[in-house]
Structure 1
Amino acid sequence: MTESLTLYTNPMSRGRIARWMLEEVGCSYDTVLLDYGTTMKGADYLAINPMGKVPAIKHGDTVVTEAAAICAYLADAFPDAGLAPPPGNAKRGPYYRWLFFGAGPVEAAATAKSLGLLAPAERAANAGYGTFDDVLKTLETAASSASPYLCGEQFTAADVYLGAQIGWGMMFGTIEKRPAFEDYYARIAERPAAKRAADLDDALMAQVQPQPQAS
Structure 2
Amino acid sequence: MPTLYHAPLSRSTSILALIEDLGVADLIDVVEVSVARADGSGGADPRNPHPEGKVPYLTDGPQHLRERGAIVAYLTDKYPDAGLGRPVGHPQRGAFLSWLFYYQGVMEPVLVLDLAKVQHPMVQATFRDLEAVFARLAEALAGQPYLLGEEYSAVDLLLSSPFQWMPEVAPDDPVVQAWIARCAERPAVKALAERELAALSG
Establish whether TM, by shorter chain, passes 0.5. Answer: yes
Which residue does 1:185 correspond to in 2?
A: 180
Which residue does 2:124 correspond to in 1?
A: 124
Are residue 57 (structure 1) and residue 58 (structure 2) matched? yes
Q: Which of residues 17, 29, 36 in structure 1 aligns to 2:14? A: 17
Contact 2:7 2:55 in 1 (8 A): yes
Which residue does 2:47 correspond to in 1?
A: 44
Greater RCO, 1 or 2 (C-alpha within 8 Å, sep 6+): 1
* Distance change in 2, residues 1:62/1:73 (3 Å): same
Contact 2:7 2:34 in 1 (8 A): yes
Provide the C-alpha distance between the structure 2 equivalents of 1:40 and 1:7, rounded to a whole number of angstroms: 18
Are residue 164 (structure 1) and residue 166 (structure 2) matched? no
Residue 149 of structure 1: SS of its match in structure 2? coil
Which residue does 1:103 correspond to in 2?
A: 104
How many percent of aligned residue pairs carry the same amino acid?
Answer: 32
Q: Which amino acid aligns with 1:9?
A: H
* Distance change in 2, residues 1:19/1:49 (3 Å): same
Provide the C-alpha distance between the structure 2 equivalents of 1:195 and 1:106, rounded to a whole number of angstroms: 23
Count of aligned pairs = 196
Provide the C-alpha distance between the structure 2 equivalents of 1:96 and 1:161, rounded to a whole number of angstroms: 12
* Distance change in 2, residues 1:59/1:202 (3 Å): farther
Query: In the TM superposition, what whole-angstrom CA distance separates every residue of 1:61-80 from its partner, at most 9, and x where no partner exists?
Result: 42221122111111001011
Q: Which amino acid aligns with 2:137?
A: L
Provide the C-alpha distance between the structure 2 equivalents of 1:52 and 1:202, rounded to a whole number of angstroms: 23
Which residue does 2:192 correspond to in 1?
A: 197
Query: In the TM superposition, what whole-angstrom CA distance separates every residue of 1:126-163 from its partner, at most 9, and x where no partner exists?
Result: x2x12332222112212x33222211122211111112
Query: In the TM superposition, what whole-angstrom CA distance separates every residue of 1:95-131 from its partner, at most 9, and x where no partner exists?
Result: 12222212221101000001111324x7632x2x123
Once structures 1 and 2 are overlaid, which stretch shifts more, 149-158 or 33-42? 33-42
TM-score (norm 2): 0.85
Provide the C-alpha distance between the structure 1 equivalents of 2:83 and 2:12, rounded to a whole number of angstroms: 22
CA RMSD of aligned residues (A): 2.3
Q: How many angstroms does 1:206 deviate by?
A: 5.3
